[in-house]
Chain A
Amino acid sequence: MFGVTILDHSDNGVLSLDLKDILLLLGSQAESSEWEISHVEALDGVGAEELHCLADKGARVPGQRLIRLASAVTQIIDGIFRGYQKGESEPWIVIQAVDSSAFDVQSDDKGVIHQIRQHFRSVVCLPIGSE
């Protein structure tokens, strides 16, 4: 896998992106994937409680549902979101919200990593060994 950390912040010190922004950038690849959600802490919004329940169950959810939930929270502070192509046992992408300070994206798809580097302003490589 290849990996980057996204650190874009607003002037007020708040991370200027959330999970929904990454999922929308992935577009149909996010929609067609199944997502396993774990260790989530989300703030407010109607989606937060549902995300917490799904994370606690370790359930896989369709991409469209995750996009809807990610759009229905104020902020995702922590959490790991593993995207699987249908029928696969290993994820093709892993998105991690880190302490309301960053989002890590790891993927086998170099094109996705390149897309992220182009779209966001502050993107650094994850150190080797950050599997």
Chain B
Amino acid sequence: MGDMVMSGEDPEGKPNALNDEGPMVDPTMEPLEAPAGRSGSKPRFHSRYADQTPVLEGQQPPRIGGGPDPAAQGPHTVLRYDLINKRIYKGREFNEVGNPVRDVDFTNPTYPSGEPRPGHPGPPHQHRYIVNDPAVGPRSGFRRGRAEPIQ
């Protein structure tokens, strides 16, 4: 794809450096080990890179905001950079008119315990953007699809 634009700052500090149903009480239902509150002392895991480096809950890099980069011409990718682990966390690709095409995620989500969640190929994996209403087209907006192998 075309240009790449960094979301947030790069490690050098340069902003945007690169352009069953059951009964009412289910007897099979077992309680989780501890309350899912915010007062637990154990770290909560959010996701892991391919080399198993974890991203803890709350340490996700700043979200990609505002859609395509206004300075970009043509198809381009906006990168979400992980300043803690010093690597690219996600890339969002936009087409020539600025509509989102897909996200490429360089981490897979985990359970808070750090165990991998099923159903995610990779990492990396991709999420395609699907137009909300094909009869209306891109004006109807987009939703992000499920995780798929990179194509």
Contact = CB atoms under 8 A, between A and B. Distances in A.
A20 interface: no
Interface stretch (A23-31, A64-72, A99-107): A99-107
Contact of A90 (B20, B24, B37, B112): B37
A26 to B, nearest CB: 16
Q: How large is the interface on B (under 10, 10 to 19, 20 to 34, 35 or more residues)?
A: 35 or more
B130 interface: yes
A44 B141 contact: yes
Contacts of A113: 26, 29
Interface residues of A, number: 48
Interface in A11-46: 12-15, 36, 38-39, 41, 43-45
Nearest to A95: B36
Nearest to B107: A99
Contacts of B26: 110, 113-114, 117
Contacts of B42: 131
Given A45-B141, A74-B132, 8 more contacts: A1-B31, A94-B37, A101-B147, A102-B117, A114-B25, A117-B26, A127-B115, A129-B33
Interface of B: 20-26, 29-40, 42, 46-47, 57-58, 60, 63, 65, 105, 109, 111-113, 115, 117, 119-120, 127-128, 130, 132, 141-148
28 contacts: A7-B119, A9-B146, A13-B130, A14-B143, A15-B146, A39-B57, A39-B58, A43-B143, A43-B144, A45-B141, A77-B144, A82-B37, A90-B37, A91-B37, A98-B109, A100-B127, A100-B146, A108-B35, A114-B24, A117-B26, A126-B32, A126-B111, A128-B32, A129-B113, A129-B115, A130-B115, A131-B36, A131-B42
